[in-house]
Amino acid sequence: MQVVRQIKEMQKISDKLIKEGKRIGFVPTMGYLHEGHISLVKKAKELSDSVVASIFVNPTQFGPGEDFQRYPRDEEGDKAKLDRAGVEFLFIPEAKEMYSTRYQTYVEVTEVTKGLCGDFRPGHFRGVATVVLKLFNIVKPHVAVFGEKDYQQLLVIKKMTEDLNFDIEIIPGTLIREEDGIAMSSRNAYLSPEDRKKARVLYRSLVKAKEVFDSGEKKTYNIVQAVKKMIGSMEGVSLQYVEIRDAETLERVEIVSRPAVIAVAAMVGPVRLIDNIIVGR
């Protein structure tokens, strides 16, 4: 695996791959990798000739007081994992390589960034859309894989790609869980052993909601109540939102008649976690 730190060098490599007729698959990450990330690499491998991964903890998608400074990092461990998974090129730029001191261009995706995490992390999706667009211009992929773990992010990227006419296929990757059901996340590393146990309530409540749906309840209000009740009864877990949205457009729904995503975010002690489940698919 070749490690690339300069934008110009990455662009040259991609130009060469394209000239050779290779299909480039891309997996952007913030590092501290787990099986969820590796599953995206595997998918990218299936769909392309050459896989490029990136590791970049993007400062513009973190709000003031969020965990940018202490976001977990393990470059050596990450390199070994990506190499083993068959990544050919790893792009790891410095923040100053991506954002010069006089940087002033941002991408705003409107409707789909509203509600859910958009309400609790102002400016977050602006940072995400901006950095992903930059990475697309640097890596020049034919196909890029994004996890369903960050469901709203996946739809933001899809919308941006469509609206700005990028000739890039956006492929969703299945949400990968730990054995006890918790969604894999780099941020799980922040959880104390006690909070780690409490965090299981998120997935348990989503499974409960899916059971309620599968048993015939289609009113989102009633399904949402089931989740609120379960999470509300867990001390030390504070729910930020639970919402049911159309799985394709992320529009609000009152009666579930098409595939929908039930999405939650909660503070578990000091750690913000998100999770979701798809129903009707």
Decide if residue 44 touches ligand AMP (CB under 6 A).
Answer: no
Closest to ligand AMP by CB, 54 vs 205, is 54
Dig out the tokens for 127 from the structure: 């940072």
Least distance from C-beta 127 to ligand AMP, angstroms? 11
Per-residue x/- track, 143-162, ligand AMP (CB under 6 A): ---xx-xx------------
Among 176, 191, 212, 242, binds ligand AMP (CB under 6 A): 176
Closest to ligand AMP by CB, 127 vs 201, is 127
Closest to ligand AMP by CB, 151 vs 224, is 151
Q: Which of 34, 37, 124, 142 is catalytic?
A: 37
Among 29, 54, 130, 152, binds ligand AMP (CB under 6 A): 29
Catalytic: 37?
A: yes
Residue nearest to ligand AMP (CB): 147
Closest to ligand AMP by CB, 77 vs 255, is 77
Decide if residue 127 touches ligand AMP (CB under 6 A).
Answer: no
Concatenate the DSSP letters of all residues of the chain into one string: -EEE--HHHHHHHHHHHHHTTPPEEEEEE-SS--HHHHHHHHHHHHH-SEEEEEE---GGGSPTTSSTTT----HHHHHHHHHHHT-SEEE---HHHHS-TT--------GGGSSTHHHHSTTHHHHHHHHHHHHHHHH--SEEEEEGGGHHHHHHHHHHHHHTT---EEEEEPPPB-TTSPBP-GGGGG--HHHHHHTHHHHHHHHHHHHHHHTT--BHHHHHHHHHHHHHTSTTEEEEEEEEEETTT--B-SB--S-EEEEEEEEETTEEEEEEEEE--
Closest to ligand AMP by CB, 124 vs 212, is 124
Q: Which of residues 180-199 bind ligand AMP (CB under 6 A)?
A: 183-186
Q: Which residues are catalytic, by number?
A: 37
List residues binding ligand AMP (CB under 6 A): 29-30, 36-37, 39-40, 146-147, 149-150, 173, 175-176, 183-186
